[in-house]
Copies of this chain bind each other. A is one copy, B any other.
Amino acid sequence: MANVRVIEIGESVFAENDSMAAANRKQMKDQGTLFVNVMSGPGSGKTTTLTAIINRMKNDYKIGEMDVDIESSVDAQRVADATGVEALQIHNMGLCHIDADMTARALAQYDTKDLDLLILENIGNLVCPAEFDVGAGKNLMLLSVPEGDDKPLKYPLMFTIADVVLINKIDTLEYFDFDKEAVVDRILKLNPNSKIFFISAKTGQGLDEVVEYLKDEIAKVKTGK
């Protein structure tokens, strides 16, 4: 098994989340790193999807990943084993989110300065992470087909703040009652600028389009656009 470092970061002492988030965002932008905050409910396929994306990009880009979980190191270990990327596991000590200061403390322990792409795999939760700006350049969320097309109605803030929505496990569409058009309508009603991709991390369907999107966004960060 590849080595995984673990750090424990509990509740933040820094109350001014927004200014700290802005500082994180500026730091990543100034150094030319696309910083992506990845959110979803439990079991939507974040780790599998990120592993597949990293493996498609790692020969051409320098990529880092930080995984947040309450107390396990399952995710960082899976990413490290499957991609060779040195993933950092952050234990958030029972919280349902990571805030900007906690993110800054993690960034201070992870060498990001040469990275083209830094991924923060947030904790599996559709409520709390939406409330804390971590300072990412892009917020990306996953919704999986088995979870249902009603989720934008029930977790509107998450879909409002997500720049990108990956609708995963599209290969299981025939087994679940999931209306693709309805979910797109519901998402765009909350965020008309949302980029929506239908993917299957298992079969690879749709991942090339996501990779192209990420490459474009990396190019924008590098050229300061």
Interface of A with B (CB < 8 Å)? Answer: 41-43, 69-72, 74-75, 94-96, 123-128, 131, 144, 146-148, 150-151, 153-157, 169, 172, 175
Cβ-neighbour of A70 out of B94, B123, B155 (below 8 A): B155
User: Chain B residue with minimal CB distance to A92?
Assistant: B127
Q: Which residues of B contact A72 (CB under 8 A)?
A: 153-154, 156
Minimum Cβ distance to chain B for residue A67 (Å): 11
The distance in angstroms between the C-alpha atoms of A124 and B125, with both chains bound, is 8
Within the complex, the shortest CB–CB distance from A181 to chain B, in Å, comes to 18
Asked whether B155 lies within 8 Å of A42 as measured between CB atoms, the reply is yes
Residue of B nearest to A43 (CB): B147
Known A-B contacts A43-B148, A70-B154, A148-B43; A128 and B126 likewise in contact (beta carbons under 8 Å): no
